[in-house]
Each structure stands twice: as structure tokens, then as C-alpha cells.
Chains A and B, each alone.
Chain A
Amino acid sequence: MKMSIRLTVNGSPHSLELSEEVPLIFALRNDLDCHGAKLGCGLEQCGACVVLADGEPIYSCTTRIGDLQGKAIETLEGLAAESGELHPIQQAFLNHNAAQCGFCLSGIVMRTKALLAKNPKPSRQDICQALDGHLCRCGAQPRMIRAVESAAARLRGAS
């Protein structure tokens, strides 16, 4: 049944006239013009769809929008400043060329944001643990770990 779902996405309020059963990822990608989150498995196994709800990582492929009423959703699209200046996490991934195909990037970058909010100085082990639910088939993990380390250093310097 269709109902009105109120969500804040990257700071902007939205009202969606959709069934509460609709998984968030389809609302993001097909209704809200947010293409970062990717449908990799639909099974909470690969992490490509991860976005933040009230700062916590969620699997947008299985989370129903009905369960997100009133929550603040953050996606990759909301990271860069209005001026176009990249967020330090994005900039660090770019500087380290920390990707090959980039399909897994959105989920990994968003998980990193949640990690660094809680743990500004993560060890290599902390990073691997936080990202262990995220798959990267291209094998870019070593440079992604370096990117997270340098983003953390830059964020610590900035705050």
C-alpha cells in the first residue's frame, strides 16, 4: 500500500509516495537521483549498498523505507561541499587511486565515514574489521586501507 514516507536525504527533506515495503536502495537510485549506492547482492553480503541512517551504516538493499520514517539518510552524493570540494575521505581515495572499477566504492566510503566518526585514529586492524563486510573483487583493499588512514589523519588535523 502506498503511503507518504518522510526522509531527510543529505540534508534535504523528501516525501515519497511509495509502499513502505520498497527497499531504500530503489528509492535512492530511481526516485532521488542518488546513484552511488549499488545493488551488488541484495543479501547484505557485499556492502556495495551501504549508506548511513542517523549516522549508522545500513544495508539499503534490504532496509524498507517504512522503517526509516523521519531518519536522516546520508549517501555518497552528500559528501562533497556545495562548492564541489571533495570530502577528505573522497579526496584520500582519489589521491591513492584507491579503486579499480569502483563499484564497491560508495559502500566503503560511507562505512569509512561512520568508522572515523567513532574512531578518529583507527589501527589497520580496526579498518579491516570495519570494512570486512565489504567485498572488492578488483583487489584494491591495500590502497583503500592507506586511503582510510590518510583520510583519518587529515580529519584529525582539520578538527
Chain B
Amino acid sequence: MNLPGAIERAPGLDRWLHINIDGSITVKTGKVEIGQGIMTAIAMIAAEELDVVVERIHVQTADTRITPNEQITAGSMSVEDSGSAVRVASAAAREILLAKAAEFLDVAPGTLTVDDGMISSTESNEQIDYWSLQAGMRFETDIVSLPAVKDPRHYRIVGHAVSRVDLPAKLNGDVAFVHDMLFHHLRHGRLVKPPQPDARLLECPDTLEMPGVEIVRDGSFLGVLAAREEIAVAAAERLALRCRWSQAPLTVMPGEIPDYLRNKVTRSLPVVDGTPVDAPVPAYQSSVAVTVSLEATYYRPYQMHASMGPSAAVAQYANGILTVYSHSQGVELLKRALADVLGLPKDQVDVIHAEGAGCYGHNGADDVALDAALLAMAAEPDPVSVKWTRADEHGFEPYAPAAVIDMKAGLDKDGRVIDWRHESFSFSHAGRPRPSPGYTNLQSAWWREQATPPAPRQPAMFKEVGIHRNLQPIYEFPQQQLIKHFVASSPLRTSSLRSLGAFANVFAIESFMDELAQLAGADVFEFRLRHLQDTRARKVLELLRDQLAAPSDEAGVGRGIALARYKNRQTWCAVAVDLVVSDDAQVQLRRATIAADAGLVIDPDGLINQLEGGFVQAASWALKEAVSWDESGVTSRDWLSYPILRFSEVPEIETHLVPSRDRALGVGEASTGPTPAAIANAIFAASGTRVRAMPFTPEMLRAAAARQ
């Protein structure tokens, strides 16, 4: 086994871990807490390897001044990346501490045992603990070889129930979010955003008749500063009424997006083994053994992250140093992007992670960090807290791209799929502020007097990313053609939302498998198993089947299932949904059942929380959500114009895990793909209506029924 990549990049043990003088241990990770419970999982892993109680572990999340650079917290990789690194660093620290203890106690190392940091030997009456041994000193050593890590069979913490380490503060009203941070001389900032992203500010007043209010303008970037927050809110509202903007009407309307996607393809790329190939798409020839074939088109509209908390940041520019507290998923990328845009040397910008509301991908976190930096530079040296409004958040976050998916398949005389063609048309999922000389993805920079324009979008070419994530089916089909159609120019700004293209691709694959099963006259479980050789996938599907009660035969009630393995290399997840379709085409979810194999489970309750939360969020996208707009701009600007699933609409959920000691796999995005397909399949079972375009609102159900 090799050293984890994160350790190879940052081998210094002190970068990862410090034995504090006060009986605690600080573990440093370059990942961030976004509500997924990573601090808890990291604390459990470290406590396990070090043989201390979880309460002794303090997890320091990403801070460009001190933590290892672990790029971004995304793709359900934190447990796999940072978790592996922390396990190795903790085991390495334990080895060093035990060697020191053996010397101190003058005993053979093999005789030592550790109980909550206290080291004893069968050969000595004396004991010594980690904290006395290390006395607050650094390790001053690099991890160059793999230390012995604990055998999972001996785990006492990992895999067992714990309480989330971050919850007490959030339940007590302590300062827990960047929104809560108050500093001396703090000024509150709010923004006045353009009516459409490309509108330019033509006129605005230099002052408002409000004492203490400062207007900050840089081209079409406009904000206000005030000593009190409610004054900043009122000032921004008043200022917005007094501004004149150029008109930059949106020209492509929501109903035109499917045609737009087909007509504006920038590049079409064959996808082989999960990876796009820079080659022409070969002509498609159907197999001669096909006796019956089927075609269908599926659609996902633009959808939102729609975080509960509007994006926020605190920034201070003093003594030539810009310090930014941000809920960005990538503090290192943000640091570099801010330095580039603001013309500051990189060593004069620090970005420190502070929690925001759940983001589920790239929302407004990075953008508002630049907003706060711009206002802080105007307010030098005072710190500035900037919060977007709800309308800013809904209107200006980068959305999940719309997608059109064309499926075609042929069955042989035995009802087996022998031909499979899957084409995904979509926009870029890569809108994060990655370095790109002369360009930036930080939105307000596009609006400044000295503008830095947005980076032109390129198709992602790595394995299992962007549009082609989970484009590869999990099934064995003798002939397959998989094509990614990349459309560079999107009418609305897009970026990464939980599970990227997997959401639309798995929706299409698993809906289509249901349609094919019907065509073959087969049971939906049996039809999938017929094409499935992956034993762990089979086991997950069988587990789901075994856990389900007999389906209801009430009128209007139906069950649907779906299966996927996230990125074709992470968690296997199967979902069953029982729902009711009422006479007025309303869908009410009754019960969801989830089965998953995530390898070794670190924090079982945290893992279930992620699978179930992923289900609820994906059900909300599937049933309710589509960004709407007209010529004047985005019209989804609050929770009424962009409704999401509510308490009364959430079903009871039950989750079953396949026990495993195999490598721990990321789980945060595993249930999102199967969910919309399981719902669509259940709607078909309940009502006979096949819905292929999200969201499955009563209007969409009626339209689909009318077309059938």
C-alpha cells in the first residue's frame, strides 16, 4: 500500500497533528465542514488510531495559514482523502510516542498498551501519557513510510455511534457560522446587484441621506457599508431604487433550453470507460440480433443549491494583509483567485474556513468572499461582514446545468439489452474559481471598472466528472455507445451541484431500465440483475429487495426502484420509493428504502444521515425544482417562486447497509442519482404515466399523460 496522496504532498507530521499541552490533540485537515459531518468522522479516525476518546480530538479545518492544502471539499472524497491521511498521520504519531515511552519506561516496545493516551507496560509499574511525553513539542519529522495502522477488527470507535462534534455549539446558539462572527469596529455590508448579470450600472447617487452609510462603487459593482446591519439592509434597498442600469435582456427562455442544448453543441465526445476521448463520434450501427428497440428523452432543468443561509463572508484589509473568513469549499483556490483579481501577492491573502449553511456544491460562497474583500479594502482597516440577501442567493448563485439525455436500446429475443446508446447534452459543471490567467470565476470581478472576465468553459476530460459522471452504465451491455455533447455557452451561469452529471444520467439510465423491463415483460429487480455482473451491486439490489414489504395494491399507489454506483467507483446505492399519485396529479411520497455498500463505515449514523439527506434533496429537485426566468432576469428569487420539499412532504426513510471491511468510500452523493428515477418509476407504477422531464409537478404529470 502506498502513502495517501495528501501525505505525499504534505509529509510533515506537524502539518497534520499536534499533541497539545492541555491534554487535547489537534488534528488538521484541509477539508471543510459543510454539514456532512466530516469533523466528526476525522475526529473518530484520529481517536481510533491514537487510542484516545473522541472528546480529546480538536479538528482544525481548512485555513490557508496552517492546514495542509487538500484542494477542495467535493466529490464525496473527504473520508477517502483526508480520512486516509489523518489515519496514517495518527498512526505515525502513535508509533513515535510509543517508541519514546519504551525508552522512558525502559521496557520493550511490544509490551506497551495505550488507554486514552495513557501508556502502560506489563514490564513496569510506571505509566506515562502522550501529553507528558510530548510536552507541547512538535514532532519535526516527515512521514516517509506507512506506519502500522489498526486492524479494523479491533476498532472501538470507528463504526460505532457518536454524537456529532459540531452540534452542541449549533444547538446552544454559540458562534458557529461565519454569519455569527462579530469583531470590534465591524462594519456591515450589503450589495446592490444588477437586474440581469450582464446589465451595467449607468447612474447611481454618490451618497444617501443616511448618516454613517458609505457607498462603495467600482464600475457596476455596488455595495454599502454601515455600522449597524439593519442600516446596511435599508441603505441597500434605498440605493437599489435610485440606480439606473443598462438593459441586458435574457434571450433564451426556459422552454427553449432543450432545443438550445441540441443546437448549440460545442463538442461531441465519445466516452469510453468513463473518460471522454478526443475523437470523432463513430457512426452508430444497431446490432442485427435486436428484435425490438426503444428510444426515450429525459430532461433536467437548471436547478439550485438554494442554501438555507445566504452566502456570507467576513474580510479585513489591514497592514497590507487581506484576511477572509469564508465558507468556500476550496480555501486554497479562493486565496489564489482573490490574489489574482485584487492584484495582491499571494502571501498577503489568507483564507480561513468558517462554516456556512449547507452548500452541496459551488454556491455563492466564493463570490461573496470577493464582495467582502472589495468592501473591506474600501473600509480599511475595519473588518467587514457581508451577507447576500435571499434574492441575491437565488438570483446569482451558479446553477446546476440543465441537461437533455437521449437513450436508445435494443433487446434480443430473450429480452436482454444487446445495444445501448446514451447521449448527454449539457453545460459545464466547472465554475469554481480555479486559476486561469486573465480570467476569473469570481462574479463581481466581471462587473468592476477594471473587469476580469469569466473563464471560457471547456469540456472536462477526466474520468467520471462533469456531464459524463455516471454516463457509463453499471450494467454489462455487449454493445454500447456513450456520447457527451458539451455546450460551452449557457444562458444562465452554471457550476457544480451535488453529484454533477450523475443526477441526470442515473435518472435517465434507471428510468430507461424500467421502461425496458416493461418492454421485456420482466420484473424490475430481475431485469437489472440479468445485466449485472458486479457482485457488490447485485448484493445491494438484493438487500433492497429483501427489505421491502409487499407492495400495496391500493389504487394510485406505486413503487419504483433504481440503482447506481456513484462515479462507478464509490458507494453502491439502491433506492425504492413508495408513493401515491392523487386524482389531481399530486405526488405524495410515503416511504423510501435505501440499501448501500460504502465499504468500511466510519460514522454509521453520519453515513445514514448523508444517504437520507441526499434522498430528500434529490426528491425535492425531482418533484419541485426548476429555475425560472424571463427577459428581465431570473424570477426564482425566494422560497415561494422556487419551492423546495417541506416537512409534510418528506417520507419516512429506512436505510440498510451492507457490512464491509473494504476501503471506506465517499457517500455524500450516492443516493442523489437513483432517487429521481425511483420516483419516476413509482409514478409510472402508480398512475401509468411515464414522466421523463423534471420537475414532476402536477402540470408536468398532466402534460406527460396527455402525450402518452
Chain A residues near B (Cβ < 8 Å): 21-23, 26, 29-30, 34-43, 45-46, 48, 75-77, 79-80, 86, 90, 93-95, 97, 99-106, 109, 125, 127-129, 131-132, 134-145
Are B613 and A138 closer than 8 Å at their CB atoms?
A: yes
**Which B residues are CB-close (under 8 A) to A38?**
177, 179, 308-309
User: A106–B180 Cα gap in the complex (Å)?
Assistant: 13
- List the B residue with the shortest CB-CB distance to A22: B230
In this assembly, does B307 line the interface, its C-beta being within 8 Å of a C-beta of chain A?
yes
User: A125–B37 Cα gap in the complex (Å)?
Assistant: 29
User: A77–B356 Cα gap in the complex (Å)?
Assistant: 20
Q: Select one of B180, B390, B609 contacting A140, CB under 8 A.
A: B609
**Which A residues are CB-close (under 8 A) to B360?**
137
User: A102–B515 Cα gap in the complex (Å)?
Assistant: 40
Q: Which of B167-175, B275-283, B477-485, B696-704 contacts A (4 or more CB under 8 A)?
A: B167-175
**Which B residues are CB-close (under 8 A) to A104?**
308, 357
Are A106 and B389 closer than 8 Å at their CB atoms?
A: no
Most chain B CB neighbours (cut-off 10 Å) among A46, A127, A136: A136
In this assembly, does B644 line the interface, its C-beta being within 8 Å of a C-beta of chain A?
yes
**A to B CB contacts below 8 Å, 27 in the list:** A26-B230, A35-B176, A38-B177, A45-B639, A86-B168, A86-B172, A93-B171, A94-B168, A99-B35, A101-B34, A103-B177, A103-B307, A109-B171, A127-B647, A132-B648, A134-B647, A135-B639, A137-B360, A137-B644, A138-B308, A138-B616, A139-B612, A139-B616, A140-B612, A141-B650, A142-B612, A143-B612
**Which A residues are CB-close (under 8 A) to B167?**
93-94, 97, 99, 102
- List the A residue with the shortest CB-CB distance to B34: A101
**Which B residues are CB-close (under 8 A) to A106?**
173
**Which B residues are CB-close (under 8 A) to A97?**
37, 163-164, 167, 605-606, 609
Q: Known interface pairs A26-B228, A76-B172. Does A139 touch B35 (Cβ–Cβ under 8 Å)? A: no
Are B170 and A102 closer than 8 Å at their CB atoms?
A: yes
Are B358 and A40 closer than 8 Å at their CB atoms?
A: no
Are B357 and A90 closer than 8 Å at their CB atoms?
A: no
In this assembly, does B306 line the interface, its C-beta being within 8 Å of a C-beta of chain A?
yes
In this assembly, does B218 line the interface, its C-beta being within 8 Å of a C-beta of chain A?
no
**Which B residues are CB-close (under 8 A) to A34?**
173
Q: Select one of B163, B179, B612, B613 contacting A95, CB under 8 A.
A: B163
User: A144–B143 Cα gap in the complex (Å)?
Assistant: 43
**Which A residues are CB-close (under 8 A) to B653?**
142
**Which B residues are CB-close (under 8 A) to A93?**
167, 171
User: A143–B310 Cα gap in the complex (Å)?
Assistant: 24
Are B173 and A141 closer than 8 Å at their CB atoms?
A: no
**Which A residues are CB-close (under 8 A) to B357?**
40, 101, 103-104, 137
Looking at the assembled complex, report how far the CB atom of B10 sits from the nearest CB atom of chain A, in whole angstroms.
27
* Interface 0/1 of B36-51, CB less than 8 Å to A: 1100000000000000
User: A127–B648 Cα gap in the complex (Å)?
Assistant: 9
Are A100 and B37 closer than 8 Å at their CB atoms?
A: yes
User: A90–B499 Cα gap in the complex (Å)?
Assistant: 32
In this assembly, does B296 line the interface, its C-beta being within 8 Å of a C-beta of chain A?
no
Q: Is the interface of A mostly helix, strand, loop or mixed?
A: loop
**Which A residues are CB-close (under 8 A) to B35?**
99-102, 138
In this assembly, does B80 line the interface, its C-beta being within 8 Å of a C-beta of chain A?
no
In this assembly, does B340 line the interface, its C-beta being within 8 Å of a C-beta of chain A?
no
What number of B residues sit within 8 Å (CB to CB) of A? Answer: 60
Looking at the assembled complex, report how far the CB atom of B672 sits from the nearest CB atom of chain A, in whole angstroms.
10
User: A51–B679 Cα gap in the complex (Å)?
Assistant: 36
Are A39 and B175 closer than 8 Å at their CB atoms?
A: no
Are B647 and A145 closer than 8 Å at their CB atoms?
A: yes
Q: Select one of A40, A77, A131 contacting B310, CB under 8 A.
A: A40
Looking at the assembled complex, report how far the CB atom of B697 sits from the nearest CB atom of chain A, in whole angstroms.
18
Looking at the assembled complex, report how far the CB atom of A44 sits from the nearest CB atom of chain B, in whole angstroms.
10
Are B358 and A137 closer than 8 Å at their CB atoms?
A: yes
Looking at the assembled complex, report how far the CB atom of A62 sits from the nearest CB atom of chain B, in whole angstroms.
12
- List the A residue with the shortest CB-CB distance to B617: A139
Are B173 and A48 closer than 8 Å at their CB atoms?
A: no
Q: Select one of B228, B613, B639 contacting A41, CB under 8 A.
A: B639
**Which A residues are CB-close (under 8 A) to B609?**
97, 100, 140, 143
**Which B residues are CB-close (under 8 A) to A22?**
230
Are B647 and A94 closer than 8 Å at their CB atoms?
A: no
User: A30–B173 Cα gap in the complex (Å)?
Assistant: 13
Are A101 and B605 closer than 8 Å at their CB atoms?
A: no
Looking at the assembled complex, report how far the CB atom of B641 sits from the nearest CB atom of chain A, in whole angstroms.
10
Are A48 and B358 closer than 8 Å at their CB atoms?
A: no
Q: Select one of A40, A95, A102, A142 contacting B166, CB under 8 A.
A: A102
CB within 8 Å of A: which B598-635 residues: 605-606, 609-610, 612-617, 620
Q: Known interface pairs A35-B173, A43-B639, A105-B170. Does A139 touch B307 (Cβ–Cβ under 8 Å)? A: no
Are B310 and A39 closer than 8 Å at their CB atoms?
A: yes
CB within 8 Å of A: which B302-331 residues: 306-310
In this assembly, does B288 line the interface, its C-beta being within 8 Å of a C-beta of chain A?
no
Are B614 and A86 closer than 8 Å at their CB atoms?
A: no
In this assembly, does B355 line the interface, its C-beta being within 8 Å of a C-beta of chain A?
yes
Are A142 and B650 closer than 8 Å at their CB atoms?
A: yes
In this assembly, does B387 line the interface, its C-beta being within 8 Å of a C-beta of chain A?
yes
User: A134–B233 Cα gap in the complex (Å)?
Assistant: 23
Q: Select one of B174, B308, B648 contacting A135, CB under 8 A.
A: B308
Looking at the assembled complex, report how far the CB atom of B189 sits from the nearest CB atom of chain A, in whole angstroms.
14
Most chain A CB neighbours (cut-off 10 Å) among B173, B229, B358, B389: B173
**Which B residues are CB-close (under 8 A) to A132?**
646-648
**Which B residues are CB-close (under 8 A) to A102?**
35, 166-167, 170-171, 176
In this assembly, does B21 line the interface, its C-beta being within 8 Å of a C-beta of chain A?
no
User: A54–B173 Cα gap in the complex (Å)?
Assistant: 20
User: A37–B170 Cα gap in the complex (Å)?
Assistant: 10
Apart from A132-B646, A139-B614, 14 more pairs, CB < 8 Å: A26-B229, A34-B173, A35-B174, A38-B177, A40-B309, A45-B638, A46-B639, A75-B173, A76-B173, A86-B172, A94-B168, A103-B357, A128-B647, A136-B647
